[in-house]
Structure 1
Amino acid sequence: MRITEVEPLVLRLPDVDVTRADGTQDAFLVRIHTDEGIVGLGEADTSPYLARTMVEMPSSHSIARGFRELLVGENPLEIDRLWRQMFLGSYHYGRAGAALHVISAIDIALWDIAGKAAGKPLHELLGGARVGEVRVYASEVMPETPDEVRRIAERIVDEGHTALKLGWGPLGGDLRRDEELARTARDVLGPERELMLDGGMAYTVKSARDLLRRLEDVKLYWLEEPLAADDYGGYRRLSDAVSVRIAAGEADSGIAAFRALVEQGHIDVLQPDLARCGGCTVARQIAALAYERGVEVVPHCFSSGVGVAASLHFVATLDRPTFAEYSVADSPLVGRLLTEQFTFRDGKLTVPSGPGLGVELEQGLLERLRVP
């Protein structure tokens, strides 16, 4: 089998609010075509226009290659070798950031091809599923007012979710307001549901400690990314000083960053985004690291249904699966981009069982949102 085309897809909603930290307003997908008719699908949570350029661009020299040129003619089943080839071929402009995001999308698509070629779901190729359903936490951007928080929390309770994360938005600007917003969410959720906060890198070590002291009786499941992504010293001081789990990793790519979060930052929950970290190939390394060091792994995913599918397969293979993230943002990229929606029951999503990712794109919506 050989790769015949690497097709980048940029999707964008008609109206984008750039003041919101909301990754469901546009998307970058990739389809990898083969000479046997198998097409693999992947996603990168990144700047879609920049990602498309990295695929389509002509190569400058041996370590500044365009990804299409690197891959056409290759065997898509040689995933590890192609991952290293892409990493080295983009070394001059990559090694992290957007280049690793694009490698993530391509890697997911290659694993999708491998599953389809074998007639097996992705989780079987990744080591086998421990569970057939994955508990998810509903995820939404923190609004400005307690009334808006109450409406979101009431909606997710009515829908049957057992956990809610709210993040970014106004958090970090005023601790009294942060406390009020979090308490409003807890009042609606009750004691039986989990509540997480995503600090959006808006806190200092001292202000994060103060917030957790104020919210001690609110019983947060975790405080996510209150500090800059690579502030390992700050994370260590914070994690060592509080009892609430500290989570981080959504912004990181490559295994070294996650090892630093554990060993230097003393993080309790690693949050690799399969559409950023390096795809399934690096996610497997992160899972092994987490198992060895006894920390939790909960993948970040605030993008399209393609990313959700990859996350579900990954979490199903973990030795100690807890949660996957599931955006409840009102975006067609989350809820309507796939031909079949995920099965949600009792706070859990069923892991897809079809070959590869087990999902297909809804072509009508794809063409309406596609940017030429």
Structure 2
Amino acid sequence: MKITDIQASLVEIPLAKEQRFAWVPGSVVKSVKFTLVKVFTDAGITGIGASHVCFGEEVLYSVHNLVKPYLLGKDPLATERHIETLYSANYFGTRLWLVDQALWDIVGKAAGQPLYKLWGGFQDKILAYGAPSEPRAPKEHREVVQHYLEKGYKAIKLRLHNESPKEDLAIVEAVRDEVGDRMEIMVDANQALLLNSPKPHPVWSYERALMMARELEKLNVYYLEEPLYIYNFKGIARLTQETDIYIAGGEWNGPIHEFKWLLDQGCYDILQPDAMQSDGMFRMRQIAHMAYLDNKLFIPHTWGNGLGLVANLQVALSVPNCPFFEYPYDPETFGVEMNQAMIQEPLRVDAEGYLHAPQGPGLGVELNEDLIRRYTLR
């Protein structure tokens, strides 16, 4: 089998309602933009992949100029050779793991199996935690968390972005009071990388992170995500060692060697790479197994689009140390149909709180081609 063509297109899907991402203070988001890639073969098999919503036009350029010339005519199944091409292209361009997704999609389709089964099939369903996007006051969180409970969710992630620790803790206290022991609570401070935003971010010191971790322990919070800057290895390791709550992070790290650095220095209890941001899908599995050998958990970050979700899900289901899966869903602004609009059959959390593996070959899903054509910019 040989690669005959690689096509990339820039797609922008308008949102039904404006979003205000808590991790980008003051932001108003009206659409989701991403690059879609298709890798064609002489066997009639086509692989698909998508970039994160943070990466758009620069990915389009990089695919066409830094990847396509070097993969045409090559065997698409030789993923370990091609990942080196992507590493080189990443250095001169941007993160191009969407091409790796497409290559592995071809592998699975050629074998007639979903990828998680080819990689060991540790489980075929996984507990999902709802990951809303909007900043909310404690009373609003009480109302929203009831929606998640009614839908069957057993876990939820809260975003803490207030100037004062007291305000942040009030949110967690309100939700814990509302749900009791019926839900696990995760907390995200989004301190690893403070994205450019219309309004300033609250910035956590080590002292604030330590205090918050100890207070969250009292509220039986499952993990505290990204409490410190991405490369504050000493601070992250110290916080991991000095607290009992799980400390999580890694969505902005990559490629794989950065996770080796994190593990070597004792950073984090839970590693959270992302198949759209951190590295290729099989390297994600290698990161999970490195974590496993260090007695650490692996819960991939997933907050992008439908193809990114299924790419991370295929990896998560194939490894033994992934107890939860992040499920992007905000009932008011980012519903399932909007979040996964690019695929034909969105993946939904069942009444018991589980997300099930798609059973199609490769990534397991098909594109909503009509919608893609309608919103392709070029």
TM-score (norm 2): 0.88
8 Å CA contact retained: 1:4, 1:34: yes
Counterparts of 1:114-133 in structure 2, within 5 Å, are 114-126=107-119, 128-133=120-125
8 Å CA contact retained: 1:234, 1:265: no
Using the aligned pairs only, state the percent identity: 31
Aligned to 1:180: 170
2:105 to 108, 112, 125: 112
2:50 to 19, 43, 49: 43
Aligned to 1:361: 367
Between the aligned partners of 1:19 and 1:274, the Cα distance in structure 2 is: 21
Aligned to 2:287: 286
Q: Establish whether residue 193 from structure 1 lines up as the match of residue 183 from structure 2.
A: yes
Q: Establish whether residue 52 from structure 1 lines up as the match of residue 60 from structure 2.
A: yes
Between the aligned partners of 1:360 and 1:70, the Cα distance in structure 2 is: 27
Q: Over residues 299-338 of structure 1, what are the superposed CA-to-partner deviations in whole Å (9 max), with x where a residue is unaligned? A: 0000111111112211111123301110003154523321
Counterparts of 1:24-173 in structure 2, within 5 Å, are 25-45=32-52, 46-57=54-65, 66-91=66-91, 93=92, 99=94, 101-102=95-96, 104-126=97-119, 128-167=120-159, 170-171=161-162, 173=163
8 Å CA contact retained: 2:155, 2:183: yes
SS in structure 2 of the partner of residue 336 of structure 1: coil
Cα offset, 1:364, TM superposition: 2.2
Aligned to 2:200: none
8 Å CA contact retained: 2:22, 2:135: no
SS in structure 1 of the partner of residue 102 of structure 2: helix
Cα offset, 1:339, TM superposition: 0.9
8 Å CA contact retained: 2:20, 2:133: no
SS in structure 2 of the partner of residue 105 of structure 1: helix
Q: Establish whether residue 312 from structure 1 lines up as the match of residue 319 from structure 2.
A: no
Between the aligned partners of 2:78 and 2:355, the Cα distance in structure 1 is: 31
SS in structure 2 of the partner of residue 26 of structure 1: strand
Aligned alpha-carbon RMSD (Å): 2.1
Between the aligned partners of 1:215 and 1:130, the Cα distance in structure 2 is: 31
- Quick check: 258-267 or 116-125, which moved more? 258-267
SS in structure 1 of the partner of residue 377 of structure 2: coil
* Aligned CA distance change for structure 1 residues 50 and 270 (closer, same or farther; 3 Å): same
SS in structure 1 of the partner of residue 153 of structure 2: coil
Cα offset, 1:21, TM superposition: 3.8
Cα offset, 1:25, TM superposition: 2.8
Between the aligned partners of 2:272 and 2:21, the Cα distance in structure 1 is: 24
Counterparts of 1:247-258 in structure 2, within 5 Å, are 247-258=248-259
8 Å CA contact retained: 2:240, 2:247: yes
Between the aligned partners of 1:319 and 1:14, the Cα distance in structure 2 is: 37
Between the aligned partners of 1:18 and 1:164, the Cα distance in structure 2 is: 18
* Aligned CA distance change for structure 1 residues 287 and 3 (closer, same or farther; 3 Å): same
Unpaired runs of 5+ residues, structure 2, are: 192-202
* Aligned CA distance change for structure 1 residues 368 and 152 (closer, same or farther; 3 Å): farther
Counterparts of 1:233-252 in structure 2, within 5 Å, are 233-252=234-253
* Aligned CA distance change for structure 1 residues 89 and 154 (closer, same or farther; 3 Å): closer
* Aligned CA distance change for structure 1 residues 335 and 42 (closer, same or farther; 3 Å): closer
Between the aligned partners of 2:105 and 2:151, the Cα distance in structure 1 is: 31
8 Å CA contact retained: 2:296, 2:321: no
SS in structure 2 of the partner of residue 215 of structure 1: helix
SS in structure 2 of the partner of residue 257 of structure 1: helix
Between the aligned partners of 2:184 and 2:295, the Cα distance in structure 1 is: 21
Aligned to 1:61: none
Letter in 1 for 2:170: E
Letter in 2 for 1:106: V
8 Å CA contact retained: 1:70, 1:86: no
Letter in 1 for 2:156: L
8 Å CA contact retained: 1:143, 1:149: no
Between the aligned partners of 2:7 and 2:142, the Cα distance in structure 1 is: 42
Which 4+ residue blocks in structure 1 deviate beyond 6 angstroms? none
Between the aligned partners of 1:56 and 1:333, the Cα distance in structure 2 is: 28
SS in structure 1 of the partner of residue 74 of structure 2: coil
Between the aligned partners of 2:170 and 2:204, the Cα distance in structure 1 is: 17
Q: Over residues 178-202 of structure 1, what are the superposed CA-to-partner deviations in whole Å (9 max), with x where a residue is unaligned? A: 0111112222222131001111104
8 Å CA contact retained: 1:205, 1:234: yes
Aligned to 1:60: none
8 Å CA contact retained: 2:20, 2:134: no
- Quick check: 218-227 or 322-331, which moved more? 322-331
